[in-house]
Chain A
Amino acid sequence: DGGITQSPKYLFRKEGQNVTLSCEQNLNHDAMYWYRQDPGQGLRLIYYSQIVNDFQKGDIAEGYSVSREKKESFPLTVTSAQKNPTAFYLCASSISRTMVGNTIYFGEGSWLTVV
């Protein structure tokens, strides 16, 4: 089945640690995205990528890093510089960010908790 796979579903991070969330899609989509969701805050864009080896900062990129070495993969690293990382993280993809009517499809999400 085609879709977006995120892992792990639940992750615990100690203070000062970097952690990486995995996102893989087999939809042959060019564009991929990472969103963060906090209660009452809606979805906020962290990073996006329109093509392999290219990515752009979203609205809340500080303390995060990404890579896009393959079309199918867009991992997100939450660094120790991110002071309040506890949140629900959603990976998404779409055919192309340059197309009108560009529908975004989401993975199942990853819960990150700082312990």
Chain B
Amino acid sequence: GQNIDQPTEMTATEGAIVQINCTYQTSGFNGLFWYQQHAGEAPTFLSYNVLDGLEEKGRFSSFLSRSKGYSYLLLKELQMKDSASYLCAVTERGAGSYQLTFGKGTKLSVIP
């Protein structure tokens, strides 16, 4: 099984940088995903990390430390449209397949 922990809510100012943390405990780690979900809409894929280090994709970056069971999503130059929930999801290898478990999400509010 997995235990995934991320903050429930965060607030940041337009134009600023925000870091959303995710910690996890799993016995068969095989990658970590970040998804963005606007209220009442489907989650959309942001990033996937399987090796330690930083993956950069435009204004968004995701970092992974497997030894620490830790990841963060970094959002730069925040825009109002970045107000959404950010879901951390961990892949664990089971019997012949990979199971994806989602955290409860972090609701980010971007204010002017």
Q: Which residues of A contact B (CB under 8 A)?
A: 35, 40-45, 50, 88, 90, 97-109, 111
Contacts A103-B48, A108-B41 hold; do A97 and B97 have CB atoms under 8 A apart?
Answer: yes
Please report which residues of chain B, range 52-102, place their CB below 8 angstroms from some CB of chain A when the two chains form the complex.
Answer: 87, 89, 91, 96-98, 100-102
* Min CB–CB distance B66 → chain A (angstroms): 14
Contacts A100-B31, A101-B48, A101-B50 hold; do A90 and B43 have CB atoms under 8 A apart?
Answer: yes
Establish whether residues A105 and B105, one from each chain, have CB atoms under 8 Å apart when the complex forms.
Answer: no
How many residues from B make CB contacts under 8 Å with A? 24
Q: How many A-B residue pairs have CB under 8 A?
A: 53
Q: Which residues of B contact A (CB under 8 A)?
A: 8, 30-31, 33, 40-45, 48, 50, 87, 89, 91, 96-98, 100-105
Contact check: which of A43, A102, A107, A109 meets B91 at CB < 8 Å?
Answer: A102
Establish whether residues B96 and A100, one from each chain, have CB atoms under 8 Å apart when the complex forms.
Answer: no
Establish whether residues A102 and B100, one from each chain, have CB atoms under 8 Å apart when the complex forms.
Answer: yes
Establish whether residues B48 and A108, one from each chain, have CB atoms under 8 Å apart when the complex forms.
Answer: no
Q: How far is the CA of A35 from the CA of B101 in the complex (A)?
A: 11
Q: How far is the CA of A54 from the CA of B34 in the complex (A)?
A: 28
